[in-house]
């Protein structure tokens, strides 16, 4: 023991010992009626919770101190965990009298729970309709293993993927806490930095430790029965996670019954950009749930259904048969309105069975939880009744898995009182007649005076002393008082305790036993009730696996009825799903936008036909605000909805199975990582080209707009060619762009088609028709949109003047003072040289653009071309130059 440690008070020595065992966690140290924190923890807690920071005499010095009353734990603990901290709760595990009798100066204390962002059972930290995963990662060579679990529901899974797929897998899970080996603390891969990271000892990942931990927990000789014996890298990760959960929970984990193999290949791949751009669970701008797909689809009646719905949205299916099964079940529910409405009513009365049985298993349930369990299980027959007339295979299969568990209901019914207290230590949990000993103690506690009166009457009759009294005081407790007149009748077993002037007071062993029963009966009954409750809790926990299966079935029924409810009320249609390369949507709508439009402003539907061997790439042009982005997103959402087994917002829809959806939408940067808007855009484009397949769906909303016009146009053009010409990535693609020049691609490539979102122009104002029509657009109406945005009129008028000048073939634009731009001769030479060089190297996709003969019709244009310097041209000058070249080609043809 160091000199400094020796100088500490016994309490602080105990604190430091426990704190060292829980490095990295804030230690809430129970001292009497308060949870105290010391030193660095105190300073942190004071700042984060806004509570007073004081000092404590620590023997040789003053230690910072901050604390709060023990009954405020449920208020302050969630605040710390939500900020990303791990919190260890250290309780007094004996009474002060016990420590004193044992000759110790401080009571024994132990950490009874460690709460972390990913491992918690607290209702105040958990979202009812969202899983709370902790995940652990392990790498070996080019393979990555991951174990992930939701302790609050008992779900425990592992998966093994190529290292490059790890990011997508993590994004499909979205863990609240991510575990890594300590040796990575200073070398964390960049894509993991946004997660809440916890570092654990390297030895946990070594040897067979993790494998043995898993087999010990699941009480198996191997992991073959779970189908994961060959997932050696994932086993290491899952073992590390199990170690972490056991270390933090300090309780039985009997509710973790199964180790599931998560097959990422079973689901459509959705990268982070796609989930964000399609706004599946959060909006791009505010990160809120309102205005998202899940907000529209979630009409679930249970928390379990809500969590499963989120999984289904984030993990669309790729196999034909399970999708069709879901769609058929949704159809049955959507067409039988009474059954669906009744089902929803009954499901509304079902509590969160997954989290209820988890709390029961880990010893954190109360009697009210058991009553909720009983009442929820009592709903199962009523749920099943709604399907008497529905002969639908998937629904029948789900209902067959809903065991009634009558024995569980009856056991709780016979034991628990109708309105039990919230605490398991306050008594009044059990019904009268449940336990004979408890009934006796209750009778004594409730009828103590009557019991004493009965004893007094019995003694008076036995002794013949009619004036005998039984009294009570704090010094002697219960006593028998006999006047001196009857002293000769006092039995020998009476023990004299006090002499008064006219009487004597006695006690008897029997009376002291009764006294003990009366005075301690209430406390004894509470203790006995707690013991009886623990026995009942353990008994009910033995049904955990069956209850979890019931919960899973209810969640599935709830998701399907939610799809049916939303589909019916929003006028969705059942899509035809096929294993082909065609997407054909008639009058498709954006499921979110149509619900957010103001009354009287109808959503304008659109048709989409896209097929690998026909119109594989749709070049979609049109002005700003015309609706190009909405058409792209609604197409992606309709495909996704179809593949999660939901009806879709359209009159008709044929969806050929898609293996991946990619999006490249809008402008954003990642300045913290040193990435400009254009670099982010190119990263996303590279990800698409490197990972798309013929069975993918690609949604490109502007490519190349973050750089100079010529660079951007060149990249967009080349990207479109690549998607058309490379068989391995020739995916179905919707390409929205302001580069009207890309319309030329339709004439050059067999599977590229031009579309535009039409508008009308009236009195120099633009009217958006929101309709997708065949053919390309040649005007962006940017000035009209700028006018709508409220730019000053002088700016708008000047812009019109410049545009008119440009469109009249004069690229020598004057400035606002009428002065001609200088350097025309330099521009001439530079552009001529660039054009000749590009022609010589064969870089022009359409040779006629730069191989026009110098006839009289082109001399004026060539003069202007030679006067331009590509390195100094503005974007609008560049666009006008390309426009002039296009007109030249048209004239020559």
Tokens of 43: 């300073």
**What local confidence, expressed as pLDDT, does residue 3 receive?**
45
Query: What's the pTM?
Result: 0.82
Asked whether the predicted pLDDT for residue 892 surpasses 70, the reply is no
CA proximity to 868, closest of 813, 816, 818: 813
pLDDT bucket at 865, cuts 50 / 70 / 90: low
* pLDDT surpassing 50 at residue 328: yes
Decide if pLDDT at 780 tops 90.
no
Q: State residue 395's pLDDT score.
A: 94
Residue pair 851/839 in contact (Cβ under 8 Å)? The answer is yes
Phi–psi pair at 475, nearest 5 degrees: -80, -50
> Which stretches within 673-759 are classed as H helix?
677-691, 709-725, 745-748
Residue 46 in tokens? 């004071």
Tell me what pLDDT residue 448 has.
80
Is there a binding annotation on residue 175?
A: no
134-266 has the same fold as 3-115: no
Annotated ligand binding at 445? The verdict is no
632: pLDDT strictly greater than 80: yes
Q: Among 304, 344, 302, 308, which Cα is nearest to 326's?
A: 308
Q: Is 756 annotated as a binding residue?
A: no
List residues bridging with 583 in a β-sheet.
Answer: 610, 655
Residue 626 counted as an annotated binding residue: yes
Q: What pLDDT, on a 0 to 100 scale, did the predictor assign at position 831?
A: 41
877: confidence class by pLDDT, cuts 50, 70, 90: low
Query: Which single residue is written with the structure tokens 């919707």?
Result: 734
pLDDT band, residue 306 (cuts 50/70/90): very high
Q: Summarize the confidence of residues 209-215 as an average pLDDT.
A: 95
Q: Which of 553, 328, 567, 533 is nearest to 431 (CA)?
A: 533
- Report whether pLDDT(81) > 90: yes
Q: Residue 574, SS3?
A: coil
- In the prediction, which pLDDT does 835 show? 45
**H or E element at residue 834:** helix 824-840
What mean pLDDT is predicted for residues 783-802?
A: 76
Query: Position of tokens 């909405």?
Result: 630
User: Binding residue per annotation — 242?
Assistant: no
Strands 652-656 and 582-588: antiparallel
Res. 2: pLDDT tops 80:
no
- Here the tokens at position 145 are 């293993």
pLDDT at 821: 42
Nearest to 641 by CA among 278, 273, 167, 340: 278
CA dihedral angle for residue 204, residue 208, residue 213, residue 216, rounded to 10 degrees: -170
Residue whose structure tokens are 């580069």: 739
Q: How confident is the model at residue 879 (pLDDT cuts 50, 70, 90)?
A: low
Q: What is the pLDDT of residues 811-861, one digit of tens each?
A: 443 444 444 344 444 444 444 444 455 445 444 443 333 333 445 455 656
Quickly list DSSP for 348-381. TT---HHHHHHHHHHT---HHHHHHHHHHHTTHH
Pick the CATH number of 3-115 from 3.40.605.10, 3.40.1170.10, 2.40.110.10, 3.40.30.10: 3.40.1170.10
pLDDT of 732 reads: 96
Q: Is residue 489 scored above 70 in pLDDT?
A: yes
- 30 vs 14, 85, 86, 215, CA distance in Å? 12, 19, 17, 36
Summarised one tens digit per residue, pLDDT across range 240-286 is 999 999 999 888 898 999 999 998 888 998 888 899 899 999 888 77
Helical (H) or strand (E) element with 755 = strand 752-762
135 beta partners? 148, 178
- Check: CB of residue 496 under 8 Å from CB of residue 484: no
Q: What's the pLDDT at 836? A: 52
Helix intervals (H) in 176-271: 209-218, 232-249
Q: Write out pLDDT tens, residues 283-303.
A: 887 778 888 999 999 999 999
Q: How many CB atoms lie within 10 A of CB 372?
A: 18
What is the pLDDT confidence band of residue 633, given thresholds at 50, 70 and 90? very high
Q: Among 471, 463, 515, which Cα is nearest to 493's?
A: 463
pLDDT in tens, 350-407: 999 999 999 999 998 999 999 999 999 999 999 999 988 888 999 999 999 999 999 9
- pLDDT score of 811: 41
| Confidence band for 93, pLDDT divided at 50, 70 and 90 | confident
CATH (residue range 436-536) = 1.10.1420.10
Question: Per-residue pLDDT tens for 148-193?
Answer: 999 999 999 999 999 988 988 898 889 999 999 999 999 999 889 9
The pLDDT value given to residue 791: 81
At 569-596, the pLDDT tens digits run: 999 999 999 999 999 999 999 999 999 9
What is the reported pLDDT for 102? 82
pLDDT at residue 104, rounded to an integer: 86
> Does residue 810 have a pLDDT over 60?
no
pLDDT for res 285: 74
What number is the average pLDDT over the span 323-352? 96
Q: Which of 73-87, 199-213, 699-713 comes out lowest in average pLDDT?
A: 699-713
Cα 45 to Cα 50: distance, rounded to the nearest angstrom: 8
Q: 629: annotated binding-site residue? A: yes
| Mean pLDDT, residues 722-734 taken together | 94
- Residue 622 marked in a binding site: yes
Determine the Cα–Cα distance for residues 475 and 495; give it in Å rounded to an integer.
Answer: 16
pLDDT score of 764: 60
Question: What count of Cα atoms within 13 Å lies in the side-chain half-sphere of residue 878?
Answer: 18
Distance CA 645, CA 315 (A): 11
d(CA 155, CA 135): 12
Among the residue ranges 72-81, 197-206, 340-349, 704-713, the one predicted with the least confidence is 704-713
Query: Which carries the bigger pLDDT value, residue 440 or residue 862?
Result: 440
Structure confidence at residue 454 (pLDDT): 86
Q: Which CATH number does the domain 576-789 belong to among 3.40.50.300, 1.10.645.10, 3.20.20.70, 3.90.78.10?
A: 3.40.50.300
Least-confidence region, from 57-71, 188-202, 386-400: 57-71
Q: What is the mean pLDDT of the chain?
A: 86
Known binder of ligand: residue 627? yes
Tell me: pLDDT of 796 over 90.
no
User: Per CATH, the architecture of 134-266 is what?
Assistant: 2-Layer Sandwich (3.30)
pLDDT for the residue 875: 53
DSSP β-ladder status, 606-611 and 582-588: antiparallel
Average pLDDT over residues 595-620: 92
- Give whole-number Cα distances, 722 to 338, 605, 698, 715, 719, in Å: 53, 31, 13, 10, 5
Retrieve residue 808's tokens.
């009249």
The closest of 370, 351, 358, 253 to 304, measured between CA atoms, is: 351
Average the pLDDT over each of 449-453, 669-673, 711-715, 883-887 and give the range with the smallest value: 669-673
pLDDT of res. 847: 37
Q: How confident is the model at residue 647 (pLDDT cuts 50, 70, 90)?
A: very high
What percentage of the chain has pLDDT greater than the value 70? Answer: 86
Which letter does DSSP use for residue 670 in this model?
B
CA distance 105 to 102: 9
In three-state secondary structure terms, 613 is coil
pLDDT digit string (tens) for 702-720? 887 777 777 888 888 999 9
pLDDT at 667: 56
User: Tens of pLDDT along 18-40?
Assistant: 999 888 899 999 998 999 999 99
Q: What is the pLDDT of residue 893?
A: 53
Report residue 776's pLDDT band, with 50, 70 and 90 as the boundaries.
Answer: confident
Domain ranges of the chain: 3-115, 134-266, 436-536, 576-789, 819-892
């Amino acid at each position: 023991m160091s000199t400094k440690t020796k100088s500490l008070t016994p309490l602080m020595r105990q604190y430091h010992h426990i704190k060292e065992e829980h490095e990295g966690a804030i230690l809430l140290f129970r001292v009497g009626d308060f949870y105290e924190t010391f030193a660095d923890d105190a300073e942190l807690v004071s700042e984060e919770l806004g509570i007073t920071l004081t000092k404590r005499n620590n023997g040789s010095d003053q230690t910072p101190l901050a604390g709060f009353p023990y009954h405020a734990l449920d208020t302050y603990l969630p605040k710390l965990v939500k900020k990303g901290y791990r919190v260890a709760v250290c309780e007094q595990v004996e009474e002060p009298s016990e420590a004193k009798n044992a000759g110790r100066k401080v009571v024994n204390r132990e950490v009874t729970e460690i709460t972390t962002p990913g491992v918690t059972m607290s209702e105040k930290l958990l979202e009812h309709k969202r899983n709370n995963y902790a995940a652990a990662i392990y790498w070996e060579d080019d393979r990555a293993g991951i174990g992930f679990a939701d302790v609050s529901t008992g779900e425990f899974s592992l998966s093994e993927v190529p290292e490059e797929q790890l990011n997508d897998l993590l994004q499909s899970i979205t863990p609240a806490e991510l575990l890594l080996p300590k040796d990575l603390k200073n070398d964390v891969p960049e894509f993991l930095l946004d997660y809440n990271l916890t570092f654990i000892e390297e030895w946990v990942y070594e040897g067979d430790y993790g494998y043995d931990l898993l087999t010990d927990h699941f009480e198996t000789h191997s992991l073959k029965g779970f189908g994961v014996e060959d997932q050696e890298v994932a086993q290491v990760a899952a073992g590390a996670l199990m170690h972490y959960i056991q270390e933090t929970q300090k309780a039985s984990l009997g509710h973790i019954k199964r180790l599931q193999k998560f097959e990422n290949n079973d689901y459509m791949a959705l990268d982070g950009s796609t989930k964000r751009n399609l706004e599946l669970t959060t909006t791009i701008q505010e990160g809120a749930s309102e205005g998202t797909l899940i907000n529209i689809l979630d009409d679930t009646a249970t928390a379990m259904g809500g969590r499963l719905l989120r999984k289904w949205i984030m993990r669309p299916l790729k196999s034909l048969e399970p999708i069709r099964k879901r769609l058929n079940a949704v159809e049955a529910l959507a067409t039988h309105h009474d059954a669906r409405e009744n089902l929803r009513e009954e499901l509304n009365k079902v509590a969160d069975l997954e989290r209820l049985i988890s709390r029961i298993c880990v010893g954190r349930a109360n009697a009210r939880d058991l009553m909720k369990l009983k009442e929820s299980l009592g709903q199962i027959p009523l749920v099943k009744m709604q399907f008497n007339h529905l002969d639908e295979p998937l629904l029948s299969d789900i209902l067959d898995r809903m065991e009634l568990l009558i024995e569980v209901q009856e056991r709780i019914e016979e034991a628990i009182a109708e309105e039990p207290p919230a605490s398991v230590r306050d008594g009044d949990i059990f019904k009268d007649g449940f336990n004979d000993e408890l009934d006796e103690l209750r009778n004594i506690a409730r009828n103590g005076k009557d019991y004493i009166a009965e004893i007094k009457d019995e003694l008076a009759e036995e002794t013949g002393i009619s004036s005998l009294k039984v009294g009570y005081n704090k010094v002697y407790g219960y006593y028998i008082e006999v006047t001196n007149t009857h002293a000769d009748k006092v039995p020998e077993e009476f023990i004299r305790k006090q002499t008064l002037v006219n009487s004597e007071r006695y006690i008897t062993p029997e009376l002291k036993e009764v006294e003990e029963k009366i005075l301690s009966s209430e406390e004894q009954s509470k203790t006995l009730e707690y013991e009886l409750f623990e026995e009942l809790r353990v008994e009910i926990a033995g049904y955990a696996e069956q209850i979890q299966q019931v919960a899973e079935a209810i969640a599935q029924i709830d998701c399907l009825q939610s799809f049916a409810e939303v589909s019916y009320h929003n006028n969705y249609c059942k899509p035809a799903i096929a294993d082909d390369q065609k997407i054909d949507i008639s009058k498709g709508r954006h499921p979110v936008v149509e619900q957010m439009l103001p009354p009287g402003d109808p959503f304008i539907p659109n048709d989409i036909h896209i097929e690998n061997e026909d119109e594989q790439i749709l070049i979609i042009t049109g002005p700003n605000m015309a609706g190009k982005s909405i058409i792209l997103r609604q197409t992606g959402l309709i495909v996704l909805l179809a593949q999660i087994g939901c009806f879709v917002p359209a009159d008709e829809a044929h969806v050929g199975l898609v293996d991946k959806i990619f999006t490249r939408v809008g402008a954003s940067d990642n300045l913290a990582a040193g990435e400009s808007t254009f670099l982010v855009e190119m990263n996303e484009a590279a990800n698409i080209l490197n990972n798309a397949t013929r069975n993918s769906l690609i949604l490109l909303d502007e490519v190349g707009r973050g750089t100079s016009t010529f660079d951007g146009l060149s990249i967009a053009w080349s990207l479109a060619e690549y998607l058309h010409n490379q068989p391995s990535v020739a995916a179905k693609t919707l390409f929205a762009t302001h580069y009207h020049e890309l319309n030329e691609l339709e004439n050059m490539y067999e599977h590229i088609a031009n579309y535009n979102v039409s508008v009308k122009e009236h009195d120099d104002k633009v009217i958006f028709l929101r309709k997708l029509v065949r053919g390309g657009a040649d005007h962006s109406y940017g000035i009209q949109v700028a006018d709508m945005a409220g730019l000053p009129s002088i700016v708008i008028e000047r812009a019109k003047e410049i545009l008119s000048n440009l469109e009249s073939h004069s690229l020598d634009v004057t400035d606002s003072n009428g002065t001609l731009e200088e350097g025309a001769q330099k521009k001439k030479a530079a552009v001529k040289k660039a054009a000749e060089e590009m022609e010589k190297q064969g870089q022009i996709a359409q040779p006629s653009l730069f191989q026009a003969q110098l006839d009289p019709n082109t001399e004026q244009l060539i003069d202007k071309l030679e006067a331009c310097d590509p390195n100094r041209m503005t974007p609008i000058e560049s666009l006008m130059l390309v426009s002039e070249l296009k007109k030249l080609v048209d004239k020559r043809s």
